[in-house]
Amino acid sequence: MKWFLKTFDQLSLNEFYSILKLRIDIFVVEQNCPYPELDNKDQLAHHLFCINNNEVIAYTRIFKPGDYYVQSAFGRVVVHENFRKQELGKKLIEQTINETYKLYGKTPIKIGGQVYLKKFYESFGFQQKGEGYLEDGIPHIYMILDNEQS
C-alpha cells in the first residue's frame, strides 16, 4: 500500500478513473444513493488516496479554507469494502488531518459527515455543530475539529 497526495492536475487519468470508480461503487451502488458525483469540486481539491495493486482502496479530498466551507474541509471519505476491517478508515482520517494541517496550518477543519459515523469522527476530536440535515436522502451532521478547543 502506498499513499499519495495530488492536486487535480497532477492526477493521471488512471488514478482519477480509479478514484471515481471507488466513490461510485460505495456512495452510489453500495449505499444505493444516486447523486451528482461530478460536482465541479474535484478541480479545487487535493486528493489523498492509497493504492494497493494499482487500485485506489482509500480516498478523501481536501479543501483549503473558503473553497468548500469557511474552514479547511475534507469529504468524499471512502474505503474499499475489502479493507475496512484493517482500520484503513482510521489511517485515512489521520493522514487527512495531517495533510490538511501541512497544507493550510492548524486551522479548524469542517466536515459534513454521515450521522452513523459520528462516534468515529469524535474519536479524532471532531464535535457536532448544529442540527442534522439530509444530503441526498442520507442523514448528515456538520462537525468541526478545532485545535484551540482540544
Summarised one tens digit per residue, pLDDT across range 78-118 is 999 999 889 999 999 999 999 999 999 999 999 999 999 99
- pLDDT tens-digit profile of 1-22? 999 999 999 999 999 999 999 9
Cα dihedral 99→142→86→8 (10° resolution): -40
- Least confidently predicted of 48-52, 66-70, 81-85: 81-85
How much is the average pLDDT of 129-140?
90
- pLDDT of residue 55 exceeding 70, the answer is yes
* Pairing of β 138-145 and β 109-114: antiparallel
**Assigned C-alpha cell, 107:** 486551522
Residue 150: pLDDT band (50, 70, 90) is: very low
Q: How many CB atoms lie within 10 A of CB 89?
A: 17
Amino acid in position 23: R
Per-residue CA distances from 93 to 39, 40, 61, 89, 125 (Å): 22, 23, 11, 6, 11
Indicate the fold that domain 2-106 takes in CATH: Aminopeptidase (3.40.630)
Question: For the whole prediction, is pTM greater than 0.85?
Answer: yes
